[in-house]
């Protein structure tokens, strides 16, 4: 995980959140077996967070690392290889403010990041303990809001998800400061 990218987020204001799905919006509920409003959180595909100053970070997970991964999506947008999420013809964008998300996500627009921490499971099996196993990043905002980008924290799978705090139930996590 690129710690330096995350350290620079403190004080930055979110301008947009986009979840990219492997399925068109009309198919997400059926493909994932979820209600429409949970598509933003639980569809298969990466997340991009846009900040007012032009920073764009991409997030997903890597099962071989048992971890969330992060990259500089803005560098991809300006023409570096590989192509940006927006130009990937196999991905479908889901907005934070549409019918495929809860109102929580829309309320993050304009909020400033106050802290980002790494999350690791308290209990890991032998294979997990050999990997980085950074299974989540908690984004905290001024005003007390927070969410977690996660590798399997909602259902103990290899799936990437974007979770409201209320969706994290029964998971014992260690929180590691990056500052």
Q: How far apart are CA 85 and CA 121, in angstroms?
A: 29
Predicted local confidence at residue 5, as pLDDT = 87
Tokens coding 39: 């598509």
Nearest to 88 by CA among 34, 54, 40, 45: 45
Predicted local confidence at residue 80, as pLDDT = 53
46's CB contacts (< 8 A; 6+ apart) are 19, 20, 58, 59, 60, 85, 91, 160
* pTM (predicted TM-score): 0.91
- Tens digit of each residue's pLDDT (9 = 90 or more) over 12-32: 999 999 999 999 988 998 988
- Tens digit of each residue's pLDDT (9 = 90 or more) over 120-167: 988 888 888 888 889 999 999 988 999 999 998 877 777 899 999 989
Q: How far apart are CA 24 and CA 10, in angstroms?
A: 33
Beta 47-51 vs 160-164: how paired, if at all?
unpaired
* Residue 74 or 162, more confident: 162
What strands, in cross-sheet order, belong to the sheet with 14-21? 67-72, 56-62, 47-51, 14-21, 92-95
For the segment 52-67, the average pLDDT, to the nearest whole number, is 93
């Amino acid at each position: 995980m690129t710690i330096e990218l995350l350290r620079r987020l403190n004080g930055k204001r979110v301008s947009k959140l986009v979840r990219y799905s492997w399925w068109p919006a009309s198919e997400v509920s059926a493909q994932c077996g979820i209600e429409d409003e949970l598509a933003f959180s639980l569809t298969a595909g990466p997340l991009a967070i846009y900040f007012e100053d032009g920073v764009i970070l991409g997030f997903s997970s890597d099962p071989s690392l048992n971890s969330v991964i992060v990259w500089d999506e803005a560098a991809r947008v300006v023409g570096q290889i590989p192509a940006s999420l927006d130009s990937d013809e196999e991905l479908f964008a889901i907005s934070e403010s549409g019918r495929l998300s809860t109102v929580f996500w829309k309320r993050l627009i304009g909020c400033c990041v106050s802290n980002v921490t790494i999350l690791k499971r308290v209990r890991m099996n032998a294979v997990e303990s050999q990997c980085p196993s950074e299974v989540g990043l908690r984004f905290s905002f001024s005003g007390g809001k927070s969410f977690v980008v996660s590798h399997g924290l909602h259902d103990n799978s290899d799936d990437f998800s974007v979770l409201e705090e209320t969706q994290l139930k029964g998971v014992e996590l260690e929180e590691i400061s990056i500052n």
